[in-house]
Structures are given as C-alpha cells and as structure tokens.
Structure 1
Amino acid sequence: MDTTTYPAPQHRTATTTAPPPRGPAATFALHLGAMAVAMLLGMLLLAPVATALADAAGWDQAAAGPEAEALVMAATMTLGMAVWMVHRGHGPRAVGEMTAAMVLPFAMGLAPYWAGLVSAADALVVGHVLMLPAMVGAMLLRRSEYTGGHAHIRARTAWGRAVEAVAHRWPTLLALGLTFDSWLRPGIPPAWTLLLLGAEYLVIGAVRREFHRDRLLAAHIAGFVLYLGLAAVAATTPATVAGPVIAAAWILHIAWDAALHRADRVTWRWYAEACAVIDLVVGVTVLLAL
C-alpha cells in the first residue's frame, strides 16, 4: 500500500506573480511605453479640468508664470501614470519613485529660469526633455520590477485599497475625462450619432466573431433597427422633439452597455464600462442644453 504523503498546496492570497510574456528588454520597453501613453492621456484629459477649475476660481493660470503651468503639467501626467501603475499592480514604492522621476525634471528646468538663464518656454521644454531619461533611470534602479513578472502585494490599509479601487476603474476615469467639456458647454449631438450608437456593438461583435446566428445576433440587429428609427425621428422633427429623443437614446444605450459588461460578451468589459459613462454624461448634458 502506497503511504507516500504529499505537501498540501500553498494558497497564495497575499501576492500574485505574473510571469513576463516576453524577454526582459521587450518587457522593459513595453512598461516604459505604457507609462508614457498613460501620462500623455493624463495630461490631455486632466489639463482641461484643471483649467476649468482655475477659471471658476478666478485664477489666471497664464499670468501665474511657468511655475503654475509646470505644476499642472507634472500633476496631470503623474496622476495618469500613477493610476496606470496601480492598475498594473505596482506597489507604492515604485509609484512614488516614478512620481519623483516625473516631478523633479520640471524643478530642474525652472532652476535656470529663476537664474535668468532661459526663458519660461525653454524651462518647460527642459522639464519635458529630462522627464523620459529620469523615468528610464527610475526603472533601471529596480530593473526586476520592469523586466520580469513582479509580485502584486495587496494593499493593507483602507487608503491603499481605495487607491487600487480607483485605479481599477480607469475606464470610468478615461470616459469622464473625454466628456468633461460636455459639462462646460452642453450641446445636442447630431441625429446621425444615434446610428453610431446602434451599430457600434454590432460591428465590434462581428469583427470579434461573437455572433453565431443566435439570439444575440438577432438582439443586436433589433437594436440597430431601433436606433435607426430614433435617428430618423430626430432628423425629421423640430428641435423641441429631436432634443429629448436624442437624450433618451443616449441614456437608453446605458442598458445595452451594462448588459454586455455583465455578460462579458461581444465587446471588451473596459469598453462597455467607458461607454456607459459616456452615454450617461452625454444624455444628461443634452437634457441640460434643452
């Protein structure tokens, strides 16, 4: 009788380690590229928010000098990068180091400006030029963090868990940034945008080969027909009727987004989440514009 015993499997609940899918150099480059894209998106999406808040507070950002502009640039890019890093499982130390690598170059650019050696515009250019080498330097200091699989240590504090929860909702943050201007200048989209709403998931599902001549395909065709009809109504009726129809169509589309997000079919979950937020903001701001 075989009496060999085997050790019980170890259940790792505190950390999870993801093996690198590519070589160290390629993994390093992909990390750098992803963070660069995240920081650019942070600047593009959050800079208008900062400008709007400054205008609401009566603060002339342009008259405040390059220090204010450098602060806004550094803060918006750092926030975008930090959200992405937390989403990808990097710990607080790595995020803090990368934050320093993005903020310090702007301080180094302002130093010669304060000394009267360069112009305000050149000071900002210096900050941007030095940022990428500083990021590479921070990554090289912890090469294993960016060239291989790294352990994702779950946050132990309520604040850390809150930061992780926000980071994992990056599609919502992206959608809010893309639609921020709608709150400042609400308007009514053209009627033809309803055709896009009706067709987008039908096209995405077809490209991803999610339809197999089943009820799911029939449901999406019916949805497209419905939005085709709504677009026709909005295009042929007075503005007093077209506006509410367009608003209702955008808000109704949220149910479509939510259903696909829950089912994890047809489209990507992040895309469905972002679309739901965009549909809600557009629908509500259309009502505000009526």
Structure 2
Amino acid sequence: MADSARATDPPGIPNVTGRPGWLRAASAVGRRWPTWLALAWAAISLADVSDGLEYMVLFVLPATGYLFLAVVDLPRITWAVGLAAMATVVVLRMLDINPWPALAVAVVTLAAVGLINGQLRKPGLYALQSPGALAFMAFGLLVLAVPTTVGGYLVAAGLLGHATWDAVHWRADKIVSRSFAEWCGVLDLVLGVGLLVVLLLR
C-alpha cells in the first residue's frame, strides 16, 4: 500500500509527510522573512522617532519604484530597484540636495513613458500605477506644506494608505515581487500605527 502511494507521487515533489513538526514550523516561519525583517526595522525606527516626517519617503519612494517597475515590467528586479532608490535618496541628502523635485520629475516622466509605450494603459493594476504614484507624491507635497504637528498625522495616514497599496500588489502578485510587497506592507502598517500612537501620547 505504501509502495503504491509512493509510486503515485508527482515526479520532483518530495514526500513531506514524514517531516517533523518542528521542521515544518521552521520552514513556515522562514518563508515569512520579509515580515520579520519589516518588524525588526519598524521596532528600531520607532524607538527613535521624532515628528514622523522622516517616514514620508517610505510611501512616496516605493510608489515611484512601483511605477518604474510597471513601466519596465520586470518584477524580478524589485529589490534591486528598491535598494537603488533608497541609496539615491541617502546620497542626495548627504549632498544636501532636496530629493523631492527629482522624485516629482521621475514620477511625471515615468507616467508619460508608460502611457506612450502602452504599459500603463493595460487594464487592472497597470492602469492604476500612474494615478497612484501621482496621488502619493501629491500627498507627500501636502505634508511639506502643513505645520509639523499636522504633518505627522498625515504621514501616518500616508503609510497606512501605502500599506493597503502593498496589500493589493501582494494579493495580485503583479508588477512587484511578492516578498517586497510583504516587507513594504508590514513596515508601512507597523510604522503608521506606531507613529499614530506616539503622536497621540505626546
């Protein structure tokens, strides 16, 4: 009977029924590494949060990156694009150059290129990328225009909004890699809620 069951296993699929429970649990935990990475980052960051405006880049920059990835249609390079974008902002700030004009130009340029080559005229998430990126960019500029006491709450709202945007991409498994959408979504959610709590307790 066992030999018969073994013979019907699909080729290339290991028989995991005999694996110990702790090994299956460890495997399940390991698959959620983007969540653990996001939680660790959020815990370290929230321990030293000031007015919260420093988090604004976390919903404007990824929205720009998502737009770029929709235009080039290469989800496999998501992490490379994300790391390159963050490094660019860090370098610009070290050189005392305001990154927001460059980001605004990038969003407008990418939206134009995507509409011309047809990528952003595809139905579904592709068509939503340019209005989504423009909305997050406009929201970021609004944060810069209001008093800091109000801006912190707007940043929290922006983070929660982008967490929702990440969840949509994670569920659809399109445009960006699922691991990045998971990491970004958990980070945005925890930072958004955490920032609200910090601001309300002050």
Interval containing the TM-score (normalised by the shorter chain) = 0.5 to 0.7
Q: Which has the higher contact order (CA 8 A, sep 6+)?
A: 2
Contact 1:195-1:224 at 8 Å conserved across structures: yes
Structure (1 or 2) with the greater helix fraction? 2
Residue in structure 2 matched with residue 235 of structure 1 by the alignment: 144
Q: Distance in 1 between matches of 2:30 and 2:54?
A: 33
Q: Which of 166, 181, 184 lines up with 2:44 in the alignment?
A: 181
Alignment deviations for residues 252-278 of structure 1 (CA, whole Å, 9 cap, x no partner): 111111111111100101111111111
One-letter amino acid matched to 1:189: L
Q: Distance in 1 between matches of 2:183 and 2:18?
A: 25
Distance 1:11 1:249, change over 3 A: farther
SS at match of 2:35: helix
Structure 2's unaligned 5+ residue stretches are 76-118
Q: Distance in 1 between matches of 2:35 and 2:17?
A: 22
Q: Distance in 2 between matches of 1:212 and 1:189?
A: 30
One-letter amino acid matched to 2:36: L
SS at match of 2:176: coil
Give the 5 Å matches for 1:271-286: 271-286=180-195
Residue in structure 2 matched with residue 208 of structure 1 by the alignment: 73
Contact 1:16-1:153 at 8 Å conserved across structures: no
Contact 1:247-1:287 at 8 Å conserved across structures: yes
Paired residues in the alignment total: 150
Contact 1:191-1:235 at 8 Å conserved across structures: no
Distance 1:206 1:152, change over 3 A: farther
Q: Give the alignment's Cα RMSD to 1 decimal.
A: 2.9
Q: Distance in 1 between matches of 2:48 and 2:5?
A: 61
Residue in structure 2 matched with residue 159 of structure 1 by the alignment: 22
One-letter amino acid matched to 2:122: D
TM-score (norm: length of structure 1): 0.45
Q: Which of 152, 164, 167 lines up with 1:255 in the alignment?
A: 164
Residue in structure 2 matched with residue 11 of structure 1 by the alignment: 8
Q: Which of 163, 168, 172 lines up with 2:35 in the alignment?
A: 172
Distance 1:265 1:277, change over 3 A: same
Residue in structure 1 matched with residue 113 of structure 2 by the alignment: none
